[in-house]
Amino acid sequence: MKLGAHLSIAGGVDKAVDRAEELEINAFQIFAKNPRGWTGKELTTEVAELFKEKSKSIELASSVVHANYLSNLATPKDELYKKSKESLTEDIRRADCLGADYVVLHPGNHTGSGIEAGIKRVNQALQEIINEFNPEAKLLLENVAGAGTEVGFNFDDLLAMTEGIPLKRVGICLDTCHAFTAGYDLRSEAGFDGLLTEIDDTFGLENLPVIHVNDSKEEVGSNKDRHYHIGQGKIGSEGFARLVNHSQMKEKVLIIETPIDDNGDDELNLKTLRNLGK
């Protein structure tokens, strides 16, 4: 199992690798810079090298960078669009410096211009970034819950954002909590199979390398984004057991983004997932 958690980079990005070693996980996700600010402390070559050395020494299977939350590529506002593109490019640059495999991004909010316009904006941004920067890391669009004017809560819309871009450059990160509240009922086998079929028919399951494994505090179809502890939310243990034991999910990188209400919550959620695996 490639199992990991979203880890803090407090004290330097290389500290995330120390945290992974403590948690005995072989994958993780980090923010490459402050997720709620536009700028970040410079990433020095020394720290990047240290990160790579440490990652090698713990035999890390995969590392993922999550892009900034302020970024909104779907925005109709030119200034925010430009800023968002620059921020994402910086996240990708850092991911490449660290040798990360993937950069996960939320498509954004159309804020009134409509879903189609939002999708076009994201597509334009991705094309420009890939043409101008030529990233080594694969970009992964994360499915969202569909709150407010969020775009990207189904896979046809996400696929439309990749028009004209080869799928070796851009794929999907599936968030189970977002899928559930967007209306995919992961409590049942039919619901889970339906979701996988939809991903396979659009991106192909080979272009789904990373899964954010989160239970949901909110009901199916509620379009709300509130992650919860594995097995204790509305999806429940059975749904996650089906996921971790599914033959086509074996090679996927599973990352928890569950709440940390108490010390040791990551340990507990990781343990729950390990125990669900047969």
> Does 106 interact with Zn ion (rule: CB under 5 A)?
no
Q: Which of residues 6-45 bind Zn ion (CB under 5 A)?
A: none
Residue 110 in marked binding region: no
**What residues does 213 pair with on adjacent strands?**
256
Distance, in Å, from the CA atom of 235 to the CA atom of 226, rounded to the nearest integer, reads 12
Burial pattern 21-35, b for ≥16 Cβ within 10 A else e, equals eebebbbbbbbbbeb
Residue 156 in marked binding region: no
Site mask for Zn ion (CB under 5 A), range 196-235, x = bound: ----------------x------------x----------
Distance, in Å, from the CA atom of 66 to the CA atom of 121, rounded to the nearest integer, reads 20
Q: What does the chain come to in residues?
A: 278
Nearest distance, CB of residue 49 and Zn ion, angstroms: 29
Comparison of 6 and 33: residue with beta carbon closer to Zn ion: 6
DSSP class of residue 249? G
- Residue corresponding to tokens 């211009």: 113
Q: Hey, what are 258's tokens? A: 């569950």
Comparison of 90 and 225: residue with beta carbon closer to Zn ion: 225
Helix, strand and coil content of the chain, in percent to the nearest 5, comes to: 40, 15, 40
Query: Residue count at the site for Zn ion (CB under 5 A)?
Result: 4
> Does 175 interact with Zn ion (rule: CB under 5 A)?
yes
Q: Which of residues 231-270 bind Zn ion (CB under 5 A)?
A: 257
As annotated, the binding site includes: 66, 106, 142, 175, 178, 212, 225, 227, 257
As annotated, the binding site for Zn(2+) includes: 66, 106, 142, 175, 178, 212, 225, 227, 257
Residues of this chain that interact with Zn ion (CB under 5 A) are 175, 212, 225, 257
